[in-house]
Structure formats: structure tokens, C-alpha cells
Amino acid sequence: MKFSLASKTAVVTGGGSGIGKAIARALAEQGALVHVLDINPDHSTRTVDEIKEAGGNAVAHTCNVSLQDNVRKVMASLMQHSNIDILINNAGIGHIGNVESTEEADMDHLYEVNIKGVYNCIQAAIPSMKENGGVILNMASVAGTVGISDRFAYAMTKGAVLTMTYSVAKDYLDHGIRCNSISPGRVHTPFVDSYLEKNYPDNKDEMFEKLAKTQPIGRMGRPEEIADLAVYLCSDEASFITGTDFPIDGGFIKLNG
């Protein structure tokens, strides 16, 4: 079977909802044992329950990726049973604002989760991967490549994710570790719904359509579409690909403007 992940062990951070949940489910469908890490234990448990109901194999873990000791303990516990073959660094937070409206606390929090969280997880997983090779897939964003209004701090973190991707890919070529990133455009996730509910409670549908049309293709992406790309990049069929960012954005980067 093409894109089979049978006998592979995967770790998905932020796997309790949205894109992370879709990736966790897709990896499990292809035969991987998926460790679902999320700061919200109810969310990670729900994802695992859904995977098991569909016939897959998964384990839930509560983990705050911004805390190095927490990450190391979780990784060490699961590595007692198997090596890590696939690491998906998906956990992240958003922020809206330009440089003037971004407070120091906002900047620090975004750094802790979106940058340090990726670093913490890669550093914890690398020793296992150095033994048998592996795949690291980081979730970046179109905001890390092109300018987007009112995304100053968020874009900064996603630019860092891109350069971490390139650095890790270069440093671990000789260990058989591939490292790539995915840069989604606007994807319809619970984050979008909560944003509209909070800021546009009286005209959610109108604003949803407006946001959707910022993608040249005319709609938002679906989490499952991001997950399908992740499955390919984690599979042996993608064994010639490393050190590359993959936009999946409905034409946003190349066709806007």
C-alpha cells in the first residue's frame, strides 16, 4: 500500500483539535501508532478515542510543549516502548496585532510555545531518531513567508520555524533524518470559529465568507487536506525530500497581489 506507515511510531503535538487532530487521525489510518500530545487532556483523549473507534492505535498524553522538563518526561516515557519514527510539531498559538499593539507578554508567550516548543520537542526526539532515522515535520505558515497585516509576532515565530526546519535538515542528513515544514494558508479550524464568535458575533457568516475569499482559490482549506500532505511527507514515498517548506494555501503566496 502506498504511503503506508505500518510499524511506525508517530508523535503529534497539539493533536487534540484542528489540524493536529486531522494529522493524528490520518497517520493512524495509514497504520502508525500515534502518540497524541496536547495541553488539554480532554482534547487528546477525545482524539485517541476517535482513532481507536476507527480501528487505529493511539495513546493520549498531556503535555505543555513550552516546558522542557514536561516534554522530556513525556518523550522519555513513550520511548521506553519504541523509537520515535515521526515527529509532527503542530502545537502553536495565534496572535493578532502589529508591533505597536503587541505587548511584551504576548511576544514572550508566542516565543515560548511556537518557537521554544518546537525546539523542545525536536531536541527530545533527536536521540531516538539518530539510531534509525526518522521524519520531523514542522507546522509553519504562509505568514512566515509573506507579509500579512496585523500578524507581527505570529509571523516572527513562523519565520523561526522555517529556519529551524532548514537547520535541522542540514545538521542531520548523515543520520537519515528528514526535516520539512508545511505552510498552510487559512484553514477552517476551531480557532477560526472562536475568532469569529468573539469578534463578529452578529455577522459571523459574512465575515467567514470574507476570510475565505482571501484565498485565491475562493475558500479556506480543510484540516484533512493538510493531513493528507503530512501523510505523504512522512511516508517512504517522500524519502527524497528534506529541507523544504510546502505551502498549501489555495494560491495565497503566489497568486495574491
Give the catalytic positions in this structure.
154
3-class DSSP state for residue 128? helix
Alpha helices in the chain (DSSP H): 18-29, 41-53, 68-79, 104-110, 116-132, 152-171, 190-199, 204-212, 223-234, 252-255
Give the burial class of 6: count Cβ atoms within 10 A of its Cβ; 0-12 exposed, 13-18 middle, 19 or more buried: exposed
Q: Are strands 33-38 and 9-13 parallel, antiparallel or unpaired?
A: parallel
Give the burial class of 94: count Cβ atoms within 10 A of its Cβ; 0-12 exposed, 13-18 middle, 19 or more buried: middle
Contact 136, 166 (CB under 8 A): no
Give the burial class of 141: count Cβ atoms within 10 A of its Cβ; 0-12 exposed, 13-18 middle, 19 or more buried: buried
Contact 47, 24 (CB under 8 A): yes
Contact 53, 25 (CB under 8 A): no
Query: 534509525: which residue's cell?
Result: 132
- Cell numbers for 29, please give them: 489510518
C-alpha distances out from residue 228 to 51, 78, 139, 195, 221, Å: 16, 25, 14, 25, 12
